[in-house]
Amino acid sequence: MNQITRTPNAQNLEPVSIWPGNIPPPPAPYSPAVRTGDWVFVSGFLASDFKTGMAPEAIPANSALVTDMELQTRYLMANAARTISSAGCDMSKDIVRLWQWFPSPSVKETTFAQGDAWPEINITSYLRVRSELLQQPLPATSSIANRFFPVKDTRVALEMICFANEHKPIAIHDPDDHDAELAGNSSGVRRGDWVFLSGRLPVDGPGDFGSSSFRGASSALAEKARVNPYYWHGSSIEQQTNFVLEKLARLAESAGSSLSRAVKAEVYLAHPNYFEGMDRVWKRWFPESPPARFVLPSIGLGARGALVEVALTLLADDSAIETETIETSEAPEPFSHEPQAVRAGHLLFFSQQMAFDSRGCLAEGMKRHPSFPWYGQPGRDQTRYMIRNISAICEAAGSSLENVVRCGRFFDDGQWFAESFAEWDSHFPKRKACSIAMQLLGPMLVPEANVMFDVTAYVPPK
C-alpha cells in the first residue's frame, strides 16, 4: 500500500494520505485520514487492533467496574487523536463534524418497517468519555444506530471531519433548539466560511439518547415528557420533515447563513417508505438549486417516534467561496430532488450513490439471476457501476476519480463487504480515500440495491 508521509500543508490543496505509524493499520484499502487544504477527513475508528479483533485494551477485566463501551471509546479516540495530530490538527478542538455510530441488536424487522426505529441503546459511558476529551464548542454531531460493523463485538464507531485554519470555532446557539440538549450535543459550529449543523430530530424537549429521562429540563418540559414521551409518534413524515427544516433554518440564520447556502445535506430515515413524503417537503424548502443530498434509510434514530433526522453543511452568507451544481449525461439523472453533486470551492459533495438508473430502479445486470442464485458478485458489480458514475461526475466538475477523499460505505448485508472493497481498491492504485463501513438495519432506497456510497472529492484549482 502506498503510504504518503510528507508533512501536510494547509497551503497545498492536493490531498495527502495520513499514516501516523502509531496506530493499528486498517486491513481494508483505505487511509486513516486524508488532508486537503484546511480540511481533514478522518476514517471511521473502531476499537480493534486489526489482528485479533477487539483490542485487548478495550475488553474490560471486570464489567462491573468499567463498561466495554467506555474502554472501546477511549481506545478508538486515542488512535483517532494520534491520526488527527499527524494531520496537523488537535482532536480536542478542531473537529467540526462527528458521526457517532452504534450497532443496535434490538430493532426488529416487524417494528422497523412500521417506522419504530428506537434503538434501545445506553450510551452514557460513551458520552462521559466524549465530554472529557472534546472541548467546547462541541462539533456538529449525528447519533445513528446500525446493524453491524466489520469487526465483531465493536459497539461504537466514530467518523470525523476536522478543520485547521486561523478561524476559531464559534458555537451556534438557538434558545428554542431543545434538540441540542439531547445527549449533551451541540446545535452546530461555524468555522470561518463554513457552517456545520448537527443532525436535528423532530422533538421539542430535551432528553437523553437511549432513555426517557429528562433530567435538567424545566419542570414544564419534564412533565410534558412524562405524560407524552412520544411527542411525534404517529405523525406524518411530512410534518416531521417540515419541523426539522424549520429548526435548521433558524439555526442557519443564527450562524450567519441560510438554507439557500446549503451545499450538502444528510438525511437519515427510519425506513425507505418515508422517502416520498420527505422529498415532497424538501422541494418546498429547496425549490431551486438544492444541495447535494445523501439519504440513508434503515437506521435507528435517537428519539422515540422519530422518522427523520437532517444535518447540513453550509457556507456563510458572507463567504466568497464559489459553488456550482454539477450535471452530466454520463451518469444517471437523480431520481429525486437533488443534483448529482455540488462543487464548493475545492470540494465536491455527491448525492447518494447506488447502482440505479435514471428511473430510480436497480440498473440492468446488477443482481443475480433467480435461476442462478450462486453465480455473480452483485457487491462487486454494483461498486464498479457506481465508480463509473463517480468518475463521470468528477470529470464534469473538473476533477478525476483519483481525487476522491472520503467514501462512506453502507451495505444491506455484510456478505458484500469484501468484494466491494476489492473492486474499489482496484481503481485507486495510489492514494486511498478515508472510509467507514457498516451494515444497515434494513433495505435501501432502491429495491435490491446492496451497496450505497457517500462520497466527497477534491477539485483542483482551475
**Which pLDDT belongs to residue 209?**
31
What is residue 303's predicted lDDT score, i.e. its pLDDT? 85
* Residue 271 neighbours by CB under 8 Å, 6+ apart: 112, 113, 114, 115, 117, 297, 298, 307, 442
Q: Which domains does the chain have, with CATH numbers?
A: 100-135+167-458 (3.30.1330.40)
Query: Which pLDDT band, with edges at 50, 70 and 90, does 216 fall under?
Result: very low
Band of pLDDT at residue 182, cut at 50, 70 and 90:
low
Radius of gyration over every alpha carbon of the chain, rounded to an integer in angstroms: 21
- Average pLDDT over the chain reads 88
The stretch 364-377 carries a mean pLDDT of 91
Strands 341-344, 33-36: pairing kind: unpaired
Number of residues that make up the chain: 462
* pLDDT at residue number 263: 98
Mean pLDDT, residues 123-129 taken together: 94
Alpha carbon of 370 to those of 74, 365, 413: distances in Å? 47, 12, 18
Lowest mean pLDDT among 125-134, 164-173, 272-281: 164-173
Please check the confidence at residue 229 and state whether its pLDDT lies above 70.
no
Q: In the structure, what pLDDT confidence band is assigned to residue 9 with cuts at 50, 70 and 90?
A: low
pLDDT at 389 over 60: yes
User: Burial code of 390-407, b = ≥16 C-beta within 10 A, e = fewer?
Assistant: bbbbbebbebebbbbbbb
Distances (CA, A) of 260 to 104, 239, 333: 35, 21, 22
Contact 31, 18 (CB under 8 A): yes
| The pLDDT of residue 220 | 38
Please answer whether residues 393 and 326 qualify as being in contact, where contact means their C-beta atoms are separated by less than 8 angstroms.
yes
What is each CA distance from 76 to 137, 398, 445, in whole angstroms? 21, 36, 31
- pLDDT tens digits, residue range 67-84? 999 999 999 999 999 999
437, 173 contact by CB (below 8 A):
no
pLDDT-derived band at 302, boundaries 50, 70, 90: confident
pLDDT per position as a tens digit, 17-54? 999 989 998 888 899 999 999 999 999 999 999 999 99
Provide mean pLDDT across the span 368-380.
91
Q: What is the mean pLDDT of residues 234-246?
A: 88
Q: Is 146 a residue whose pLDDT tops 80?
A: yes
Q: How confident is the model at residue 158 (pLDDT cuts 50, 70, 90)?
A: very high
Mean of pLDDT values over 385-405: 98
Of the two residues 190 and 221, the one the predictor is more confident about is 190
| Whether 238 contacts 271, CB under 8 Å | no
- Beta strands 341-344 and 323-326, pairing class: antiparallel
Say how far apart CA 445 and CA 269 lie, in whole Å: 10
Asked if pLDDT for residue 335 goes beyond 80, the answer is: yes
Tell me which residue has cell 502509531: 22
Mean pLDDT of 340-368: 96
Alpha carbon distance 6, 69 (integer Å): 35
Counting Cβ atoms within 10 Å, is residue 50 exposed (0-12), middle (13-18) or buried (19+)? middle
Nearest to 143 by CA among 15, 332, 303, 371: 303
Task: Compute the distance between CA of residue 262 and CA of residue 344 in angstroms, rounded to an integer.
Answer: 10
